[in-house]
Amino acid sequence: MRPKVPEDHGIWKDFQPKFMLTNQLYNYAEFFEKILLKVSKNYIKEIVTVVEYRHIFGFLFDENGPISLEKEIDIFYRV
């Protein structure tokens, strides 16, 4: 049996800025609501009966900066 050769993950360095940009898009309140709605509709379509959303409050923002906790909660109620 040969010893395991460590994998080289250097390729991901080129993609890291793109991941960071995408992550920021998810935190933009308007996109977040659209994504949450689409994901929820897909779960309904696939007849998923239990869903656990894990969300860290305080990261969503809009064109004016961070949004309030109440506005974040309202997004979940609307969806």
**Chain position carrying tokens 């961070």:** 66
pLDDT, tens digit only, all 79 positions of the chain: 666 666 667 777 787 887 777 777 889 999 999 999 999 999 999 999 999 988 999 999 999 999 999 999 999 999 9
Provide CB contacts within 8 A for 73, sequence distance 6+.
none
Q: What is the pLDDT of residue 74?
A: 97
Compute the 3-state secondary structure of the chain and give helix, strand, coil in percent, each to the nearest 5: 55, 5, 40
